[in-house]
Amino acid sequence: MNPVERVLRSLDRAQQRRAAPALVVGVVKKYGDDRGGLLAALITYYAFLALIPLLLLLSTVLGFVLHGNPSAQQAVVDSALSDFPIIGSQLRQNVHSVEGSGIALIVALFGLLYGVLGVAQVLQHTMAEVWNVPGTRRPGYWGRLARALLLFATLGTGLVLATGAATLTGTTLGGTAARVGSLLLSVLINTALCFACFRILTPAEVPSRGLWPGCLAAGPVFTLLQAFGALLVSHQLRHASQIYGFFATVIGLLFWLYLTAQVTVYAAETNVVVARRLWPRSLLQPPLTGPDEEVLEAIAQQEQRRPEQRVEVDFVDEADEEERAGDSSGTGHSGRAGGKGGR
């Protein structure tokens, strides 16, 4: 064992003996096992596709509703939408000048339908992947469509509640107290909204109590992203905006959406790790820990695609690997025709 490996294995043993570091490592490892970065990128892509027609629809509807209505214009400026980076600043600057267009409304509706259905499908796929649900137990098209509609009804309700809470806090309190109260209410609403969305997106076989740990962690983080998202994006674009101009806005929006998607995936992974107690995980293999084997087995079994297919998983010691390879003609090995096998 070389000195670097000796140090790494010492750190590995240390984190496995302590609950908090082992839990963090377990979540990060599960994120990597499920290709969480790719799932977050897919969510970001479809969220961006949904957001552009949403902005067009929003500006068109506001053009019809707000024309000559100062009180409605002020309500939009004070709404929860004003906390979103880039969107919020555009609303504040242009709410008095937007104009409605019938053609823009139709185009925006069709584009929004395509985008929101795509992001809802990807979110459901993400939850199924994170919980390692076999393909035979995942909902069909109509079931996913019903969940997508319920998801966006829930998000719309949450937006209304967040706007009402912000308005109520602003009218009853003032100064710093209003800001603190608004943030606390936002944390509560975001946590509850996260739980409601996770319950809709997660397969029914997962109990509701298993969804709380990640939501309790994600609710405050979502609030921070809303409260400081504009500052974060402007910091990232401080130099890029001078070079790319308008495209810097798109880059910033994608950056913020990707952060939000990553928080969502990490929250879901936290739920799985806590519910199944998937820690401690080993940083260096071999040997594999019990949770390591449980995760690998679940990943293999989720690839089941047909009811008549069976996936069996087996683990062997490194010392027995040569003997097992010499007996590769036996049963129960990976790659065998008929859908059986394993390692």
Q: Per-residue pLDDT for the chain (343 aa), expressed as one digit of tens each?
A: 788 888 999 999 999 999 999 999 999 999 999 999 999 999 999 888 887 777 666 666 665 665 666 665 556 555 555 555 555 555 555 544 445 556 766 776 777 777 788 899 999 999 999 999 998 888 888 888 899 889 988 987 887 777 666 666 656 666 677 677 778 888 899 899 999 999 999 988 889 999 999 999 999 998 888 777 656 665 555 555 555 555 666 777 788 889 999 999 999 999 999 999 999 999 988 889 999 999 999 999 998 888 888 888 888 876 565 555 555 555 544 443 344 444 4
pLDDT, residue 328, reads 55
- Show the tokens assigned to 123: 């979110």
- Do 176 and 307 fall into the same domain? no
Distance set, CA 60 to CA 71, 135, 211 (Å): 18, 41, 37
pLDDT, residue 184, reads 85
pLDDT, residue 252, reads 75
- Do 175 and 266 fall into the same domain? yes
Residue 331 lies inside a defined structural domain of this protein = no
**Residue 290: alpha-carbon gap to chain centroid:** 27
- Do 8 and 144 fall into the same domain? no
Residues 47, 261 contacting (CB under 8 angstroms) = yes
Distance set, CA 80 to CA 164, 182, 186, 296, 334 (Å): 9, 10, 9, 42, 52
Q: Residue 25: name the closest of 35, 37, 13 by CA.
A: 13
Residue 47 lies inside a defined structural domain of this protein = yes
- Do 257 and 221 fall into the same domain? yes
- Do 161 and 40 fall into the same domain? yes
- Check the CA dihedral 260-193-113-138 and report its sign: positive
Residue 125 lies inside a defined structural domain of this protein = yes
pLDDT, residue 277, reads 94
Residues 16, 290 contacting (CB under 8 angstroms) = no
pLDDT, residue 230, reads 57
- Do 93 and 186 fall into the same domain? yes
Number of folded domains that form the chain = 2
* Rounded Cα distance, 119 and 45, in Å: 8
- Do 200 and 265 fall into the same domain? yes
- Do 248 and 295 fall into the same domain? no
pLDDT, residue 14, reads 93
Distance set, CA 205 to CA 118, 208, 210 (Å): 23, 9, 11
Residue 242 lies inside a defined structural domain of this protein = yes
Per this entry, what is the length of the chain? 343
- Do 175 and 39 fall into the same domain? yes
82 contact partners, CB below 8 Å, separation of at least 6 = 76, 88, 91, 92
Domain hosting 237: range is: 20-276
- Rounded to a whole number, what is the distance in angstroms from the first to the last CA of the chain? 26
- Do 244 and 118 fall into the same domain? yes
Residue 73 lies inside a defined structural domain of this protein = yes
Residue 340 lies inside a defined structural domain of this protein = no
241: burial class by Cβ within 10 Å (0-12, 13-18, 19+)?
Answer: middle
- Do 255 and 298 fall into the same domain? no
80 secondary structure, DSSP code:
G
- Do 261 and 309 fall into the same domain? no
Residue 189 lies inside a defined structural domain of this protein = yes
Residue 335 lies inside a defined structural domain of this protein = no
- Show the tokens assigned to 322: 């040569």
